[in-house]
Amino acid sequence: MVLNIKEPIEESFQIIGGNFTQAGEASTRLKHALFELGVDEKIIRRITIATFEAEMNVIIYAAAGRLHYYITPDSITVKIDDMGPGIENIELAMQEGYSTAPDWVRELGWGAGMGLPNMKKNADIFKIDSVVGEGTTVEMVINFP
């Protein structure tokens, strides 16, 4: 599928750490944009799951962050970067079920340790970079097949 757009479409959202009432706002806006563009529903689901998990991680772990998406006729790139504690051991953080979420976050239903693995599973290209004490950047590309 190739999207019939003349120019790339991009947008940025601020994400505030700890603001659970805003949870999912950026990924929901992106989901609606993709529906309007007529993107295949299965692809929208993959993009939305991956984006939502990344957005939640900023809300849960970081002070603040930003979500940026860039849509071309044949793919979408979503980049989420934050100012936060960073991740000491990325390999460990990527393992299914690994979570450092505090109890109060678990009580809200988060902290299953599946966010990063699900981002990787749903993205065609998944990159994560982190500097302890500075922040984390996740970049995902999903192709429109």
Ligand X SMILES: Nc1ncnc2c1ncn2[C@@H]1O[C@H](COP(=O)(O)OP(=O)(O)O)[C@@H](O)[C@H]1O
Write out the residues near ligand X by the rule CB under 6 A. Answer: 53, 57-58, 60-62, 82, 84-87, 93, 98-101, 110-116, 136
Given ligand X, Mg ion, none, residue 113, with its beta carbon under 5 to 8 Å by kind, binds: ligand X
**b/e map 68-98, b = 16+ CB within 10 Å:** ebebeeeebbbbbbbebbbbeeeeebbeeee
CB 60 to ligand X: min, Å:
6
Give which of Mg ion, ligand X, none residue 33 binds (C-beta under 5 to 8 Å, depending on kind): none
Residue 41: strand, helix, or coil: helix
Token readout for 86 is 């960073």
Q: Which listed residue (48, 57, 130, 136) binds Mg ion by CB under 5 A?
A: 57
Q: Does 136 bind Mg ion (CB under 5 A)?
A: no
| CB closer to ligand X, 71 vs 87 | 87
Beta strand segments in the chain, E = 9-16, 64-72, 75-83, 125-131, 135-143
115 is a contact residue toward Mg ion (CB under 5 A) = yes
